[in-house]
């Protein structure tokens, strides 16, 4: 039994009939006078579905997922008001010849709660040993902790944060004998191994970190470039107007012109195949727009190129999250597992295509199909983006919470090479 509630009020109680030959069903988005429910299904497999409620009205009996739906998600729209909210029960049965994964779960969705940051009487100090110069506005107080940069206080600090993004890591400031038993040493980075100094991999630093503070979901202090919250109320938009306003295909804002991922070569191949496929802005393109100009430019384009500068595990950045915040579809290329971490049908992944030519042909086809294009925008609009420096600030609060319960969170990182994971060279730009 799953209970769905809105604003704390129980609206639906639903039995999900799900034996081994049926697919799990996600009913978290039922709302109001009409509802849209996403259900993972197998491409091309006939589906028999019955939906009954106390009004004994069958809204949809059968359908087959269209071949053109690359996302593999069937969207069912309940066009009639459901009555009897308090007692309405829905039994949904889906028959298929293949099992599917469990309900969509991701550390990037509905998994981030900001802390109360009121400073209490200081109990713990967090020493940032080598804070990057660009990190000027890091929160310096949270709960009963404060952040300091005075290295002479190293012996007495409750925790010491070491950044892998600066070149002054040096050697460990305290020997194991000099460290207090409850002092936590934390490795921190928002960049990939391809853009970090490698001092932390030296023998001097092996086996002495307790926690990690990175963009990887496996980190002790997980701080991504952005997270999403599922909207309780889905916005109503005129998607036809949005579609018709977009007269151009794809845009890319980039100032890092030569990268490990060779994304610039990939985009060059796209433009060589069909001249003008991607318009380039920023330091590597036509001109560098202001933020206000960029917001206006986005309204003219149907796709946003969100290619990462390195192809590294779990690494996807503000490039992706920027596109997710506007009425534009991101085209992704990176080392993150997008299929695991982002809902199907909200982006286009270059890995799904055998060549740049095939990708460009698909983008052109999708850009001309109003129904398919706007369906992706509708799916994106089910989620609210939460991004910005305050996510990194929250790391301070999470560290503080662990320091206040240190016995529960004792740990050691045994192999520093596993902290940031692996990167790989691209194979699709040849």
Tens of pLDDT along 264-308?
999 999 999 999 999 999 999 988 999 999 999 999 999 999 999
Q: Write down the pLDDT at residue 376.
A: 94
14: which strand partners? Answer: 2, 90
| 289 and 378 part of one domain | yes
Q: Is position 199 within any domain?
A: yes
- Enter the pTM of the model: 0.73
Whether residue 233 is contained in a domain is answered as yes
Q: Same structural domain for residues 359 and 235?
A: yes
Reference 138, options 401, 389, 317; nearest CA is: 389
Element (H, E) at 73: strand 73-78
Which contacts qualify for 371-378: CB closer than 8 Å, 24 or more apart?
Answer: 372/68, 372/69, 373/243, 373/302, 373/329, 374/239, 374/240, 374/242, 374/243, 375/75, 375/345, 376/71, 376/329, 376/345, 376/346, 376/347, 377/237, 377/239, 377/242, 377/327, 377/329, 378/36, 378/239
Instruction: Please indicate, yes or no, whether residues 170 and 270 belong to a single structural domain of this protein.
Output: no
Residue 221 belongs to a domain: yes
Same domain, 320 and 416: no
Question: Is 101 within the bounds of a domain?
Answer: no
Does residue 262 sit in the same domain as residue 362? yes
* Same domain? 302 vs 395: no
Query: 136 with 147, same domain?
Result: yes
pLDDT of residue 116: 64
d(CA 188, CA 191): 9
The verdict on 37 and 135 lying in the same domain is: no
Q: What is the pLDDT of residue 94?
A: 28
How many Å from the N-terminal Cα to the C-terminal Cα in the chain?
Answer: 52
Is residue 259 located within the same domain as residue 352?
yes
Low-confidence ranges of the chain (pLDDT < 50): 1-103
Indicate whether 379 and 404 sit together in one domain: no
Q: Last residue of a domain, which of 50, 72, 92?
A: 92
CATH number, position 277:
3.40.50.11660
pLDDT at 104: 62
Task: Give the residue among 383, 328, 372, 374 at the shortest CA–CA distance from 70.
Answer: 372
Host domain of residue 365: 227-387
With respect to residue 105, please indicate whether it lies within any of the assigned structural domains.
no
Does residue 311 share a domain with residue 209? no
* Within a domain: 97: no
317 and 362 in a single domain? The answer is yes
Domain tally for the chain? 3
Q: Tell me if residue 95 falls in helix, strand or coil.
A: strand
Residue 117 lies in a domain: no
Helix 370-380 vs helix 356-367: angle between axes, to the nearest 10 degrees?
90
The residue from 43, 69, 92 where one domain ends is 92
Q: Is residue 109 part of a domain?
A: no
pLDDT score at 240:
97
């Amino acid at each position: 039994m799953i209970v769905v509630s809105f604003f704390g009020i129980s609206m639906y109680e639903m039995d999900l009939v799900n034996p081994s030959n049926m697919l799990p069903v996600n009913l978290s988005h039922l709302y109001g006078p009409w509802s849209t429910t996403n259900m993972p299904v197998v491409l091309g497999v006939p589906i028999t579905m019955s939906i009954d409620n106390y009004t004994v009205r069958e809204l949809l009996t059968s359908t087959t997922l269209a071949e053109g739906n690359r996302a593999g998600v069937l969207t069912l729209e309940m066009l009639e008001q459901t009555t009897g909210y308090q007692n309405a029960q829905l039994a949904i049965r889906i028959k298929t010849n293949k099992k599917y994964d469990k309900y969509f779960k991701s550390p990037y969705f509905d998994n981030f709660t900001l802390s109360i940051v009121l400073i209490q009487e200081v109990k713990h100090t967090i020493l940032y040993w080598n804070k990057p110069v660009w990190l000027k506005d890091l929160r310096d107080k949270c709960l009963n902790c404060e952040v300091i940069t005075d290295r002479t206080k190293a012996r007495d600090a409750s925790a010491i944060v070491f950044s892998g993004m600066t070149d002054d890591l040096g050697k460990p400031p305290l020997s194991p004998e000099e460290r207090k038993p409850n002092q936590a040493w934390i490795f921190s980075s928002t960049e990939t191994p391809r853009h970090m100094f490698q001092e932390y991999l030296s023998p001097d630093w092996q086996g002495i970190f307790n926690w990690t503070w990175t963009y990887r979901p496996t980190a002790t202090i997980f701080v991504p470039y952005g997270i999403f919250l599922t909207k309780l109320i889905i916005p109503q938009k005129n998607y036809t107007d949005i579609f018709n306003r977009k007269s151009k295909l794809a845009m890319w804002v980039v100032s890092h012109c030569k990268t490990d991922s060779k994304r610039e070569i990939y985009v060059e191949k796209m433009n060589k195949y069909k001249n003008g496929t991607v318009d380039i802005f920023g330091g590597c393109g036509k001109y560098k727009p202001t933020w206000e100009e960029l917001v206006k430019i986005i309204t003219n384009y149907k796709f946003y190129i969100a290619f990462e500068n390195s192809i590294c595990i779990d690494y996807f950045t503000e490039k992706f999250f920027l596109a997710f915040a506007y009425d534009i579809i991101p085209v992704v290329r990176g080392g993150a597992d997008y299929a695991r971490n982002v809902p199907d049908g909200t982006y286009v992944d270059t890995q799904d295509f055998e060549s740049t030519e095939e990708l460009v042909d698909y983008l052109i086809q999708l850009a001309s199909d109003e129904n398919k294009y706007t369906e992706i925008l509708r799916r994106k609009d089910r989620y609210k983006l939460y991004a910005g420096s305050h996510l990194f600030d929250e790391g301070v609060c999470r560290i503080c919470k662990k320091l206040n319960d240190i016995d529960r969170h004792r740990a050691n990182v045994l192999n520093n090479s596993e902290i940031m994971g692996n990167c790989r060279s691209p194979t699709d730009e040849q």
